[in-house]
Structure 1
Amino acid sequence: MAPLRARQSLSKDRFPVYFGNVKSQTYQDLSPAARGASSRGLCSIAWNPQGTLVATGASDKTLRVWNPEKPLVRFSTELKGHSAGIEKVAFNPTKDAELCSVSSDGVVKFWDVRSKTCINEITGLSDASSLAWAPDGETLMVGNKSNNVFVLSPTQSTPLSAHQQPVQTNQITFCWSGKKIFLSTGEGHVRILSYPDFEPLLYRDRSAGLEEFVLNGHTSQCLSVEMQPTARYLATGGYDSVIALWDTTDWICQKTISNPTGPIRNISFTFDGSYIVGGSEEGSSLDIFHVESGERVHAIKTTKAGPVVAWAPTRYCLAYVDQDVLRIAGVDSERK
């Protein structure tokens, strides 16, 4: 499939008009076996770099790659091999057809989605729960529920290194240079470490004693962290239902966005960094906010809460989970 041309950015005034006319497409296996099965429990969504494929991972071990322009399941690809529920999926940021999936039993698999084959496997990571590729696609990090973070290579069958964290670590993301990583913690803050050696990069000078500098922006657990595509802001989401936007030059919180739907489990920016959405396990809508003003510009109504959200990397197209089904808002309008 040919790469999709990136859309022009929309102003805050034009966005709600445009997205108000956008419909959501449903992507679902409607076979009798699927209808009779228990809930799939979609846990993760990932776009490939050109926005031509969408991968979903589910707690029932189903790993599927969809063509966003063809919602029927016969046009999708199921990748079989996991023996436990899939916690995270992510495409290599430099390779459109290389997908990584992580299951709750600590197994990491790398796939060539064109040939539908597993090209590498790493085992023994125990209760894996987070996944983040380095921007160059050469390495990635997988964290588990014991707060151990592993650095992996897609071509090696054992971890390159392991880094036990001193606090509960929920989610990890990279800066765009790949030299810094950001870890959201159960203590409500975000740590800033070097990569790949995991050393604190900033310190406070407290009476000549060194203390690690962290981003304190939440009154309870910090659950999610995401770098804006333009790298002006780092966004963090908390159990306190707040999205905090941090200036990446001075590391000052420039603004906070209160999301009425509940704890922010997942954050996603539009391709141009102009709009942001948070996924939550509570509420019945996905609220889209304008980053610079903090204003809510649109809300997508959902049947149930949408904890998993992912904007396409090239256009205003939002993939999300509703009632354990993948939905994508924006596909119809983009095909005009």
Structure 2
Amino acid sequence: MAPILRPRQSLAAEKFSPYFSNLRPQLYNDPSASRSGSNNLRSIAWNPLGTLVATGSADKTLRVWNPEKPHVKFSTELKGHAAPIEKVAFNPTKDAELCSVSSDGVVKFWDVRTKNCINEVKGLGDAFTLVWAPDGQTLIVGNKSDNIFVLSHSSPTPLASHQQSVQTNQIAFCWSGERVFVTTAEGRIRVLSYPDLEPVMRLSYDPEREFAMSGHTSSCLSVEMQPTARYLATGGSDSIIALWDTQEWICQRTITSMIGPVRSISWTFDGSYIVGGSDEGTGLDVTHAETGEKIHTFKTAGACPVVAWAPTRYWLAYSDAGSLRIIGVDMDKK
């Protein structure tokens, strides 16, 4: 039996693999969900305390799970979306406020305690990205026409919209909320101010040109700020995860063990370890951020495009064969 880890207790690199080798993933089976393949589960999100995990699916199913009670009867289904759910995210300052966006351009805000939709924004196009500002007051939604909208959880219409000149993929905030990192099809990562979304840095030899990080040979698909803010991680369709130093914006190291496009990235709560998700290959490789060493591989049945570490402990949620699985949930059980 694996030893018990308290919340926010870290594991040394040499103890990581021995610890997890004694644990098995827990399946969270939704019998009402479609089994349309490994891409059915589109998004996974933890609430700020790590006590709830939400999933959004291509079959329009939006569900909130108790990670310690995997049977579907202990979960909550939130009904109302009429199109595939592309992204879900909890408000970082409100443990029971969830936001979801569907491909028909509808964003819904939910109180998961009452199951009520507390606000709705329509008409955002073929939307597929969503990220909250750290203060939980506003959030960004992007669509496939490269338009970025700034929304409020209390307004039925966007606060602002910003048309981008390049194909825009995922977006992440810095922890102050003053900047966002925007990934592009050119393989670059733009640094923009928030909420006006203007370039923050210019090239020293040409002040008219915007500075952007260039570290991928093809489209940059995912981005995630390390909890300690030392590194910004980006993932590309070139199967590479790049770790950028946030002082000089230089790529410090690359992780090249993945197979297929890096669709998602997630850090452990302490920023020590990182994992990427892809819709190709099998297994999830965990890498030590400071050394770039692969320290453990979680065995999976198939490809796992969506990965999400819990915000307070070593619980890894991921999609496998279209269903939610979590490894580590039994670590606190006696």
- TM-score normalized with structure 1 length: 0.95
In the alignment, the residues of structure 2 paired with residue 127 and residue 228 of structure 1 have an alpha-carbon distance, to the nearest angstrom, of 29
Letter in 1 for 2:17: P
Whole-Å Cα distance in 1 between the matches of residues 321 and 182 of structure 2?
29
- Relative to 1, partners in 2 of residues 1:84 and 1:294: Cα closer, same or farther, differing over 3 Å? same
Q: Distance between the aligned counterparts of 2:331 and 2:308, measured in 1?
A: 18
Would you say 1:26 and 2:27 are equivalent positions?
yes
SS in 1 for 2:295: strand
The verdict on how the C-alpha distance between 1:241 and 1:38 changes in structure 2, with shifts beyond 3 A counting, is closer
**2:314 pairs with 1:322:** no
- The SS at the match of 1:294 is coil
Q: How does 1:175-214 map to 2 (within 5 A)?
A: 175-206=174-205, 208-214=206-212
Please say if 1:106 is aligned against 2:105.
Answer: yes
Aligned ranges for residues 48-63 of structure 1 at < 5 Å?
A: 48-63=47-62
Q: State the match for 1:15 in structure 2.
A: 16
Deviations 1:203-226 (A, max 9, x none): 1122x5421110000011111110
Distance 1:109-1:146 versus aligned 2 partners, 3 A rule: same
Report what 1:93 is aligned to.
92
2:330 match: secondary structure = helix
> Does structure 2 conserve the Cα–Cα contact (< 8 Å) formed by 1:132 and 1:140?
yes
Which protein has greater RCO, CA pairs closer than 8 Å, 6+ apart?
Answer: 2
Equivalent residues of 1:261, 1:285 under 8 A apart: no
Q: Which amino acid aligns with 1:17?
A: P
Aligned partner of 1:235 in structure 2 is: 233
Q: Which amino acid aligns with 1:81?
A: G
Q: CA deviation at 1:200?
A: 0.6
Q: Which whole-Å CA distance do the structure 2 matches of 1:131 and 1:263 have between them?
A: 20
Q: Which runs of 5+ in 2 are unaligned?
A: none
**Any conservation in 2 of the 1:58–1:87 contact (CA below 8 Å)?**
yes
SS at structure 2 position matched to 1:297 = strand
Residue 331 of structure 2 aligns to a residue in which SS? helix
Q: How does 1:1-336 map to 2 (within 5 A)?
A: 6-30=7-31, 38=36, 41-206=40-205, 208-336=206-334
Residue-pair matches, total: 329
Shift in Å, 1:34: 5.2
Structure 1 unaligned residues grouped into runs of 5+: none
Provide the secondary structure at the position in 2 that maps to 1:14: helix
Distance 1:302 1:334, change over 3 A: same
1:192–1:200: 8 Å Cα contact kept in structure 2?
yes
Taking the aligned partners of 1:94 and 1:236, their CA distance within structure 2 comes to: 25
Cα deviation, 1:133-181, whole Å, max 9, x if unaligned, reads 0000000000000000000000000000000111011100000000000
Q: Distance in 1 between matches of 2:258 and 2:118?
A: 43
Residue type of the alignment partner of 1:23: R
Contact 1:42 1:59 in 2 (8 A): yes
Residues 56 and 85, structure 2, Cα contact 8 Å, conserved in 1: yes
Residue 65 of structure 1, CA deviation = 0.2
Q: 1:13-47: CA deviations, max 9, x gaps?
A: 011111111210000124xx658x65581100000
Give, in angstroms, the shift of residue 188 of structure 1.
0.3
| Counterpart secondary structure, 1:17 | helix
Cα gap change, 1:209/1:264 in structure 2, threshold over 3 Å: closer, same or farther? same
The alignment yields a C-alpha RMSD, in angstroms, of 1.4
Give the letter for the 1:132 counterpart: V
Report % sequence identity: 67
* Alignment partners' CA distance in 2, 1:256 and 1:212: 24
Runs of 4+ in 1 over 2 A off after TM superposition: 4-7, 37-40
* CA-CA distance at 1:191 after TM superposition: 0.0
Q: Which moved more, 1:44-53 or 1:251-260?
A: 251-260
